[in-house]
Structure 1
Amino acid sequence: MLLNDYRPVYVIGIGLHRYQAATETSYVQLGVTAVREALADAGMEWSSVEAAYTGTTRLGMAVSRPMLRHLGATGIPMTQVENASASSSSAFRLACRDVAAGFSDVVLAAGVDKAGKVNRGEQLTGIAPHDGGLVVPSVHYALLAEEYMRASNVGEEAIARVAVKNHLNGSKNPYAHRQRERSLDEVLGDRPIAGSLKRLECCPIGEGASAVLVVSDDAIDRLGLDRSRAVQVLSSTQRSEELYGAKSFDVELTKTTTEQSLAEAGIRAEQLDVVELHDAFAIEELQYTEAMGLCGQGQASRELANGEFAIGGRVAISPSGGLLAMGHPIGPTGVGQIAEITRQLRGEAGPRQQPNSTYGLAHLVGLGAVCVVHVLAAAGR
């Protein structure tokens, strides 16, 4: 299903609860805070919402009703979505498909999570992992960092600059988990996690919530919404991994999914003004910017050092602070990216604003097995 073959789809309202370290705050309060903010941002009543999808990974079954009933028991269909890091990206995709296909005119896509233990499906298969369970995510990306540094002939400072940029962006974001600017020396001198990766080059996983309201043209007119603040969703693309031989599956999956999504949106990589990507570990930004076609192979570290990926540069990469500074509460992360891109394309991002933003792209990888990419465009582009 290509979105542009069906009805136009827009984001009209965005809301967040700050991403933060674990607290005693209930997930209900986190989620309702974000949804109420999205409703207020859109200028819409809860009674206008016709369906809801909630992305979550660590809260158990049936999380939507105990949360959304505080807004009113309206009888709408509610669906939980679990897809690892891409959970609310997938929830947003389902909301967009509902509106595009004409099933609903107003759909909520939300994400909420609390810190806690999670079981991965591959741990429950009864098949022992070939690595003996030693290659946890931090080790996996540390190995990729070593490979990248050798192939691109760069040192640890090249990867650390990703963290420096994103911590600077996060310091300007009131919703970010980490809101402190960091120097290159601070990043390089921090506690090692795995291989060359330091603590500040790895994302914090805490709690938080995000929400966006997805609407049709008919809803904008019928509800009297502000069309000048409606950001259009040009494409919604999701793929899973294939066999890539010796190549990194994270990178190759990102490459094919991004290429497909840009083609469906009818734009080129060089037209993107803002990108929010999966930088759970700093090395990922360098790999994915190259895979997305935002720069040549092996050139990402040089482009980063030259300021090309900073706010005000050629394309702002993770102006929210990315997963490294905005944080990665998992369930909310994907919809949180959509909220940031919407804010940027409206010109409402304040000190994080990328000038003259017209096109934005959101990207998340879920445990390497799935990749979700969305391309959005400013009103009146």
Structure 2
Amino acid sequence: MNGTQAQDGSRSTSDWLDANGGVFIAGIGLHPYQFPSDTPYTQLGLTAVRAALEDAGMQWPQVKSAYVGTTSIGMAAGRVLLRHLGSTGLAVTQVENASASGSFAFRQACMEIATGMSDVVLALGVDKHGDGRRAITKDGLERLSDTATIPAVKFAMMARTYLRERGASVDEMAAVAVKNHANAALNPFAQFRKPRTLEQVLASPRVAGDLTVQQCCPRGEGAAAAVLVSGHAIQRLGLDASRCVRVRASVAGSELNERQYGDAATELVRTSAREAFEQAGIAPTELDLLELHDAFSVEELIYSEAIGVCEPGEGAHYLARGDSRIGGRCAINASGGLIGMGHPLGPTGLGQLAEITRQLRGEAEGRQHTQARWGMAHMIGLGSVSVAHILAAAG
């Protein structure tokens, strides 16, 4: 399905990605995610960009525009970083949207390609571990609880509700972390590369409620980049079309008022995913790969149900049957997810897209999901904004 046509004959918004010959990922690159270090952010970002250019078989002067997702570095980080590749006069835009910063940088790049403004655009996510200050703590409002805006507390409460309503156990929730740490152990770009047993996950220090340290994502630093091109430019630029992964959906949104604590984030995921599937013209059950926001283990169970890869209440059973493992029905967080691969914020969403691209090309050595054709990268930012992308293999 390439979009729909309105009754008045005009093109609907669902087919905007088909303009300019379509939007494709030609190259990907990462700097491994790592714990905070003295490595300059310029080194992190340049490593990812150079790898993406090499992967695409392109040169820096061919890039006409860049979008840089970051949260903690400071003003004009993109320009400071990219000038080390050469001052070519390209447009540089910095994007910040919490955990979804890199995902939104990628979405802006897609828009620029689709509108025909540029045929080659860079999307880059880069971050160092910052002070973590959030705008919500500076809104001038008093709160009943000092912990009301702390993510770990919010998701611990959501976990209690989920486990009670679904009749699931703490062990079943912790099994998410076991799977994702195992996947990360196979990923050379992951911050954690050591498999964990269920006993180790449960025995790690408690953070909030039933969530232990190994069920929570680490903060750190890293970078991820993607070079996007238009379909019309693939042949002209001499690119390998068999390695160009197509972007078939790009959807963004923000929360609505919630009736029950935690419902807003879940409904946001559900709505944005549904719109992405409509745009791509596929059903959730057709996904082969799903990278989602698992900053806390319970999120994978909640969101896999909300996205529709399994039925409501089936999240824990889907995992227990092996359906969400690499080689299962739909590999969820084959990269290791935020829990295993890490969550440096700015790069995280682009790292998801890089993982899916690698998988769809059949190049995920050591962790390749068989016959992968469709993948979704879904990201939320502080539970209040969301962005979903669906990618399709070439051919």
Instruction: Work out which of the residue numbers 54, 59, 78 in structure 1 matches 2:92.
Output: 78
Please name the residue that 1:217 is paired with.
Answer: 231
Where do residues 298-313 of structure 1 align in structure 2 (5 Å cutoff)? 298-313=313-328
Amino acid aligned to 2:265: D
Where do residues 1-381 of structure 1 align in structure 2 (5 Å cutoff)? 1-2=13-14, 3-4=16-17, 6-7=19-20, 8-246=22-260, 248-380=263-395
Count of residue pairs the alignment pairs up: 380
**Partner Cα separation in structure 2 for residue 4 and residue 192 of structure 1:** 45
Amino acid aligned to 2:312: Q
- Please say if residues 55 and 331 of structure 1, whose CA atoms lie closer than 8 Å, have aligned partners that are also in contact: yes
- Deviation per CA, 1:80-126, whole angstroms, max 9, x where unpaired? 00000000100000000000110100000000000120321111111
Where structure 2 has 5 or more consecutive residues not aligned to the other structure, the ranges are 1-12
**Offset of residue 181 of structure 1:** 0.4
**Partner Cα separation in structure 2 for residue 287 and residue 227 of structure 1:** 37
- Please say if residues 100 and 381 of structure 2, whose CA atoms lie closer than 8 Å, have aligned partners that are also in contact: yes
**Partner Cα separation in structure 2 for residue 302 and residue 135 of structure 1:** 31
**Partner Cα separation in structure 1 for residue 330 and residue 137 of structure 2:** 39
TM-score (norm 1): 0.98
- Please say if residues 231 and 377 of structure 1, whose CA atoms lie closer than 8 Å, have aligned partners that are also in contact: yes
SS of aligned partner of 2:366: helix
- Please say if residues 17 and 110 of structure 2, whose CA atoms lie closer than 8 Å, have aligned partners that are also in contact: no
**Offset of residue 218 of structure 1:** 2.4
**Partner Cα separation in structure 2 for residue 345 and residue 296 of structure 1:** 25
**Offset of residue 170 of structure 1:** 0.1
**Offset of residue 352 of structure 1:** 1.1
**Offset of residue 249 of structure 1:** 1.1
**Partner Cα separation in structure 2 for residue 130 and residue 372 of structure 1:** 31
SS of aligned partner of 1:15: strand
**Partner Cα separation in structure 2 for residue 351 and residue 63 of structure 1:** 35
**Partner Cα separation in structure 1 for residue 313 and residue 287 of structure 2:** 20
- Please say if residues 4 and 264 of structure 1, whose CA atoms lie closer than 8 Å, have aligned partners that are also in contact: no
Amino acid aligned to 2:94: Q
**Partner Cα separation in structure 2 for residue 16 and residue 4 of structure 1:** 25
**Partner Cα separation in structure 2 for residue 61 and residue 38 of structure 1:** 24
SS of aligned partner of 1:203: coil
- Deviation per CA, 1:232-270, whole angstroms, max 9, x where unpaired? 000100000012312611111000000001100111101
**Offset of residue 18 of structure 1:** 0.3
RMSD between aligned alpha carbons? Answer: 1.0
Amino acid aligned to 2:257: L
**Offset of residue 132 of structure 1:** 3.3
**Offset of residue 4 of structure 1:** 3.6
**Offset of residue 130 of structure 1:** 4.1
**Offset of residue 221 of structure 1:** 1.2
**Partner Cα separation in structure 1 for residue 380 and residue 18 of structure 2:** 26
Identity in percent: 51
